[in-house]
Structure 1
């Protein structure tokens, strides 16, 4: 079975959609970036470089400096899929990021989104 299409999609192609979703609900690009950096361990320059290079999702997560240890606490349903039940590790990371952005758009406090 071929890999899922999202794995080869450039992260930079989806990033603006994350930002738009957040901004439509009164949140900011900076909050989106904070969530991405929290999950992946990228610093601002590293995230900007990944966006500039048009890195695909598989590479984006493979090169992530440090997946946050509390990422296992990300639970719930996003796009009809229960995040904690996703078997493929890469797809689970992508769904975790989707879930965090959903929580941001729904107005949840950053401390709760970042599992502090």
Structure 2
């Protein structure tokens, strides 16, 4: 079976769409970046470098410094599919990211999005 085309798509080509979705709902690029950093363990400099290098989704997740162990707490539906039941590990990581950005656009508080206890 051929790999899904999103795997070889550059993160930089989709990133502006994530930001635009958030900004349309009154959220910020900084919040989108915080989601990326929380999920993958990147710092801002390494995230910016991945975007500048046109890194594919496959390589972005494969080379992430430290995938957040709490990402398994992300549940819900993206594109009609429950993220917790996706069998392909890479597709699941991509859908986790999609789900977090969706939650941001829907107005959820960052501590809820990032699966952290409220202060």
Q: Which residue of 2 aligns with 1:21?
A: 21
**CA separation in 2, counterparts of 1:81 and 1:21?**
20
Superposed, which structure 2 residues align to 1:1-116 within 5 Å? 1-116=1-116
Deviations 1:62-86 (A, max 9, x none): 0100000100000000111100000
Deviations 1:58-109 (A, max 9, x none): 0000010000010000000011110000000000000000000000000000
TM-score (norm 1): 0.99
**CA separation in 1, counterparts of 2:3 and 2:78?**
20
Structure 1 residue ranges (4+ consecutive) displaced by more than 3 angstroms after TM superposition: none
**CA separation in 2, counterparts of 1:49 and 1:42?**
10
- Count residues with an aligned counterpart: 116
**CA separation in 1, counterparts of 2:46 and 2:80?**
31
Q: Which segments of 5 or more consecutive residues in structure 2 lack a partner in the other structure?
A: none
**CA separation in 2, counterparts of 1:63 and 1:49?**
12
Q: Which segments of 5 or more consecutive residues in structure 1 lack a partner in the other structure?
A: none
TM-score (norm 2): 0.97
How large is the Cα RMSD of the aligned pairs? 0.3
